[in-house]
């Protein structure tokens, strides 16, 4: 299913190019997202060399019902260990010490709930719906294709966030990367404390995307470093709809990291070396299913990111107790010690393709005031403190650059702790 022309000595570059063009024409019509530029045989060879580096030889291959190809790769052959800083890295075998849960104070327990009741269920992933799993000792990796690379601006940009042109800095709000049309609706902690992790349960939707190079995501950011320089460290995880990156409009579990403010280091998922995967059942970059529906059942996922107090690696948990893998401490400068800020919320790219604000949706595509079953939410916000304890967040600040396009409203309840609704439709009469 996944298109890959493996380079063979007896295949001439011209034949490779012809094969690529034939396959591309079929997929472009199916996706209806964008048209590809003419591909030279030299560029095709460069793309294939890159794919050969990141698509490791599988022990077993699984075809997902949604069309993804999942390669089960031996854990010691995964892309992470190609990183120059990880050449001598030994994969952490002993599980990290999980954060302890602090009990709520009595006065917090008695606070009145203001969350509407509804049916909430957990989302999982589509690729092992038929019961097929990767064997023990392997990790599932979504196979990248030439199509994936050609949808990006260049081979260098493949799998990376756009480097910001400038970094917004406001005294009354956190520093967020808002260049290149990135817009947010986020909650955040203060920047003066030492933070060792964060957790939240995130409502999953499938927002519509106007043009192929825009995206809509909902995630946790764990941050340290300066926002007005080139040393920002960021660890990120959540769900994302990105036609450019994945070739479809499904929400997908994703991760990201950078140690230099998105300039040269880091990438999405496993598209560069860095993140060490340890789990054989969770494929980063794979589709999440089912998704929430308007006034219907709501589905969500829980994400936990925390620093192992013994070895210092930053681990990611998915669902209730599933360890996905970790970002080695060697990758970072500031985050080698601790984080100074956590952000939770949504982000979209507004490319103003037709000279007007994008109609790319954030969250469910509805504004925060629409509430449960209509607007998207983050619930049970928690942070990990210096003694590796999970503590319910007592107070947060919020930020949305343009509340006529996307907004956010926070609240507190007994069941959901500190939580918020967020999102919006983008383009509308008040958001031209």
Contact between residue 325 and residue 277 where contact means Cβ atoms under 8 Å apart: yes
Q: What values do phi and psi take at 241, rounded to 5?
A: -110, 115
The structure tokens listed for 42 are 């030299």
Q: Can you tell me the distance from the alpha carbon of 237 to that of 306, in angstroms, rounded to the nearest whole number?
A: 12
Cβ count within 10 A of residue 256? 24
Report whether the peptide linkage leading into residue 312 is cis, meaning its omega lies within 30 degrees of zero.
no
DSSP state of 195: B
The structure tokens listed for 371 are 């509430």
Q: Can you tell me the distance from the alpha carbon of 426 to that of 172, in angstroms, rounded to the nearest whole number?
A: 24
Nearest to 186 by CA among 306, 363, 339: 363
Strand partners, 182: 349
Strand partners, 419: 411
Helix (H) or strand (E) holding 31: helix 13-31
DSSP state of 30: H
Burial of 215 (C-beta count, 10 Å sphere; 0-12/13-18/19+): buried
Burial of 320 (C-beta count, 10 Å sphere; 0-12/13-18/19+): exposed
Active-site entry in 236, 244, 343, 382: 236
Q: Can you tell me the distance from the alpha carbon of 273 to that of 289, in angstroms, rounded to the nearest whole number?
A: 27
Q: What values do phi and psi take at 73, rounded to 5?
A: -110, 140
Strand partners, 411: 419
Decide if 236 is catalytic: yes
Helices of type H across 60-156: 106-109, 146-151
Active-site entry in 214, 244, 347, 382: 347
* Alpha-carbon torsion angle 382, 385, 388, 393, nearest 10: -20
Decide if 214 is catalytic: no
Residues designated catalytic:
236, 347
């Amino acid at each position: 299913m996944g298109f890959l022309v493996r380079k063979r000595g007896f295949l001439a570059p011209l034949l490779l190019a012809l094969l690529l063009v034939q396959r591309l024409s079929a997929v472009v019509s199916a996706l209806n997202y964008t048209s590809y530029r003419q591909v030279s045989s030299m560029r095709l060879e460069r793309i294939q060399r890159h794919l050969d580096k990141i698509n490791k030889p599988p022990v077993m291959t699984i075809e997902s019902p949604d069309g993804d190809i999942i390669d089960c790769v031996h854990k010691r052959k995964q892309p992470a260990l190609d990183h120059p800083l990880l050449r001598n890295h030994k994969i952490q075998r002993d599980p990290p010490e999980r954060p302890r849960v602090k009990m709520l104070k009595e006065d917090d327990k008695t606070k009145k709930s203001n969350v509407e009741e509804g049916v909430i269920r957990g989302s999982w992933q589509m690729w092992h719906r038929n019961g097929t799993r990767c064997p023990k000792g392997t990790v599932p990796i979504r196979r990248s294709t030439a199509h994936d690379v050609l949808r990006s601006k260049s081979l260098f940009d493949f799998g990376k966030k756009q480097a910001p042109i400038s970094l917004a800095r406001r005294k009354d709000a956190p520093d967020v990367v808002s260049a290149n049309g990135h817009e947010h609706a986020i909650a955040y902690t203060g920047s003066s404390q030492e933070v060792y992790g964060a957790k939240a349960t995130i409502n999953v939707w499938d927002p519509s995307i106007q043009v192929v190079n825009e995206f809509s995501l909902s995630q946790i950011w764990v941050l340290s470093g300066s926002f007005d320089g080139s040393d920002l460290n960021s660890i990120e995880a959540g769900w994302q709809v990105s036609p450019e990156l994945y070739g479809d409009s499904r929400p997908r579990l994703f991760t990201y990291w950078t140690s230099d403010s998105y300039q040269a280091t880091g990438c999405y998922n496993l598209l560069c070396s860095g993140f060490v995967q340890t789990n054989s059942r969770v494929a980063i970059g794979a589709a999440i299913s089912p998704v929430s529906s308007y006034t219907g059942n709501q589905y969500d996922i829980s994400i936990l990111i925390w620093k192992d107090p013994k070895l210092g690696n930053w681990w990611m948990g998915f669902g209730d107790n599933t360890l996905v893998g970790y970002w080695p401490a060697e990758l970072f400068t500031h985050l080698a010690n601790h984080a100074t800020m956590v952000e939770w919320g949504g982000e979209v790219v507004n490319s103003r393709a037709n000279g007007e604000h994008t109609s790319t949706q954030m969250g469910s595509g509805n504004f925060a005031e629409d509430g449960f079953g209509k607007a998207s939410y983050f619930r049970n916000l928690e942070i990990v403190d210096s003694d590796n304890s999970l503590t319910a967040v007592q107070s947060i600040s919020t930020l949305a650059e343009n509340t006529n396009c996307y907004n956010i409203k926070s609240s507190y309840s007994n069941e959901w702790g500190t939580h918020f609704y967020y999102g919006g439709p983008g383009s509308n009469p008040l958001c031209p």
